């Protein structure tokens, strides 16, 4: 399957923690893209799962991200699958159904996002990584993570690619809402 399917998708937002974001290169752009995709997911009825790395020390996700998540998984492993993410995706799957399609984005791209995306792929999920919504403290680390993910067979996409593939048609009932998010990523 080459295109994303909104009915089979889950969005996973990895570690957009408020204490971490000031250190992320292009943090504003990264956060805006993550919120844009999350708002589109909500408009389309797509489940949104957030993760927070060691929240007792690093605090919660940025409020703009946290409020858009259906649930937030606290974790100590860099790969959220080791702390139950894969199980959460599997429990929502009807018996005999294929593993979920997972659209994933997050910080830091070369640590938690990378390991979580690879973990999801190891659990049999089809994974798309929203590169425009991923960040690291250093751009070189983010670029290396994107290359490694691509080389591992995961698909790199942009926020707009996700929005338009999820709607698939200008006749989709939510298309006008999604188009507004394309024109103004900060639209509520």
Model pLDDT for residues 37-82, shown as the tens digit of each residue: 999 999 999 999 999 999 999 999 999 999 999 999 999 999 999 9
Confidence of residue 188 (pLDDT cuts 50, 70, 90): low
Average pLDDT score over residue span 155-164: 96
Where do the domains of the chain lie, and which CATH numbers do they carry?
6-183 (3.40.50.850)
The pLDDT of residue 109: 98
Q: Which two tokens stand for residue 102?
A: 């997972």
Give Cβ neighbours of residue 28 (< 8 Å, ≥ 6 apart): none
Confidence of residue 157 (pLDDT cuts 50, 70, 90): very high
The pLDDT of residue 98: 74
Strands of the sheet with 101-106, listed across from one edge:
71-75, 47-53, 9-14, 101-106, 126-130, 155-157
- Residue 90 pLDDT more than 90? no
Indicate the pTM of the whole model.
Answer: 0.96
The pLDDT of residue 2: 82
């Amino acid at each position: 399957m080459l295109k994303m399917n909104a009915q089979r998708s889950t969005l996973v937002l990895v570690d957009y923690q408020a204490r971490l974001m000031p250190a992320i290169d292009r943090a504003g752009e990264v956060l805006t893209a993550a919120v844009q995709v999350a708002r589109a997911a909500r408009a389309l009825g797509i489940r949104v799962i957030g993760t927070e790395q060691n929240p007792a020390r690093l605090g919660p996700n940025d409020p703009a991200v946290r409020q858009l998540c259906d649930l937030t998984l606290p974790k100590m492993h860099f790969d959220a699958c080791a702390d139950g993410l894969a199980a959460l995706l599997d429990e929502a799957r009807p018996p005999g159904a294929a593993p979920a399609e997972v659209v994933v984005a997050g910080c830091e791209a070369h640590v938690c996002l990378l390991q979580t995306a690879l973990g999801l792929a190891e659990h049999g999920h089809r994974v798309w990584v929203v590169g425009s919504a991923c960040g690291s403290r250093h751009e070189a680390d983010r670029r290396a993570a994107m290359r490694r993910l691509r080389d591992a067979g995961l698909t790199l996409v942009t926020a707009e690619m996700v929005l338009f593939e999820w709607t698939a048609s200008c006749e989709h009932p939510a298309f006008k809402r999604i188009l507004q998010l394309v024109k103004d990523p900060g639209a509520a």
